[in-house]
Amino acid sequence: MAGNWVQLIIFMGICVGWVSTYIFRVATKQMTYVKQLEQYEEAVMRKRVEEMTEAELEALAGEVDADKQRKAAARAAAAQQQGKQ
């Protein structure tokens, strides 16, 4: 009878352990599908950048710089606004 209980406890421990690792991987988005999707998206973006002309790359770089400046200005305005309160 004791052997049955030991087997049950070991089996339940393994099941709980496996389920907990699965839930952890889902919560931290370390699932195989998520990783494959990220790799695919990165490959598509890399291919698009490779196909862009020099003028398109310069325009894109200009847009990125302008966006960074807008975000920095917005952060500065928000910080200044919080300082007034």
pLDDT at position 29 is 82
Query: Which ranges in 1-85 belong to alpha helices (H)?
Result: 2-27, 32-51, 54-84
Structural domain count of the chain: 2
Q: Which of 8-12, 28-32, 43-47, 74-78 has the lowest mean pLDDT?
A: 28-32
Residues 46 and 65 in one domain: no
In percent, how much of the chain has pLDDT > 70? 99
Residues 2 and 37 in one domain: yes
Which residues are within 8 A (CB) of 55 and not within 5 positions of it... i.e. 6 or more apart? none
pLDDT at position 45 is 94
Name the residue type at position 29. K
pLDDT at position 85 is 66
Residues 42 and 83 in one domain: no
Residues 41 and 75 in one domain: no
Tens digit of each residue's pLDDT (9 = 90 or more) over 16-50: 999 999 999 888 888 888 889 999 999 999 999 99
Range of the domain at 14: 1-51
Q: What is the rounded average pLDDT of the residues 11-18? A: 96
Q: What is the rounded average pLDDT of the residues 8-20? A: 96
Secondary structure letter of residue 30 according to DSSP? -
Q: What is the distance between the alpha carbons of residues 2 and 5, in angstroms, rounded to a whole number?
A: 5
